[in-house]
Each structure stands twice: as C-alpha cells, then as structure tokens.
C-alpha cells in the first residue's frame, strides 16, 4: 500500500459554528479516525492552529499567514494507506467537514 496525505481546507467565509455544533463535529472527526484505525489504514494526522508564518524566496522573507483575504486555509492533515489514489479519494469522501463546504486535497506521498 501507498501513503496518501489528506490536506483539509477550512472555508473562512463560513459562519462560525456554535459550541454545540463544534462538539458534534469533533465527535464525527473522532469516529472517522477510529474507523480508519480499525481498518488499519491510519498513519497519522493532526489539526493545525490558525495563523503561522510564511517563509518565501531566496531572501527567506518571513510574513504572517495565512492571510485574511484567503477564502480557504489549511486546517490539518491526515496520512492514510491505500492501494491507489482512487481508493484514497473514496476514503476522503467520508470527511466530516464536506457537508459544510470543506475541501480535502488528496496527494500521494513520494517515497525517497
């Protein structure tokens, strides 16, 4: 099996969820992680804190990011095992954030 990274994008234009909605969503995420672990295809994953720094170009210029004008920001990632990108994409379709216009980018991890 190959490793695939799921990169989760959050919609910055979406209305802020209530605490109850956040709790319900977190339960969906935890259930999904447990399902992936039970299927022995979970490798790793974490949520990311909002904000951060960006380092760009040959002068290594540091700026704050992600930027307020961004419509989507990376909110976290998973690494899962699958035979093909098509199978990995099928797994990604179970992401709990998709009903709230979330986005999952599926990429194969290149092995060196």
**pLDDT at position 41, please?**
98
How many domains is the chain partitioned into structurally?
1
Average pLDDT over residues 71-86: 93
Q: Whole-angstrom Cα distance, residue 110 to residue 112? A: 7
Range of the domain at 92: 2-108
Spell out the alpha helix ranges (H) of the chain: 19-38, 85-92
The pLDDT value recorded for residue 12 is 72
9-13, 26-30, 34-38, 106-110: the lowest-pLDDT one: 9-13
15, 20, 22, 23: CA torsion to nearest 10: -170
CATH assignment at residue 40 = 3.30.70.1060
Per-residue pLDDT, 54: 86
Supply the pLDDT for residue 16. Answer: 82
Query: Which is more confident, 68 or 102?
Result: 102
Closest listed residue to residue 79, CA positions, set 5, 1, 2:
5
% of the chain beyond a pLDDT of 70: 96
And the tokens for 93? Answer: 């379709």
pLDDT tens-place string over residues 28-75: 999 999 999 999 999 999 999 888 888 999 999 998 876 655 677 889
Average pLDDT over every residue of 95-102: 91
């Amino acid at each position: 099996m190959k490793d695939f990274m799921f990169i989760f994008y959050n919609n910055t234009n979406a209305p802020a969820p209530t605490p109850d909605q956040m709790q319900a969503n977190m339960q969906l995420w935890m259930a999904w992680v447990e399902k992936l672990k039970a299927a022995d295809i979970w490798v790793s994953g974490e949520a990311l804190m909002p904000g951060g720094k960006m380092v760009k170009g040959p002068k290594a210029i540091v700026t704050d990011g992600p930027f307020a004008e961004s419509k989507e920001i990376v909110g976290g990632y998973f690494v899962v095992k699958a035979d093909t990108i098509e199978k990995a994409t099928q797994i990604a379709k179970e992401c709990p954030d998709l009903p709230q216009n979330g986005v999952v980018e599926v990429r194969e991890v290149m092995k060196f």
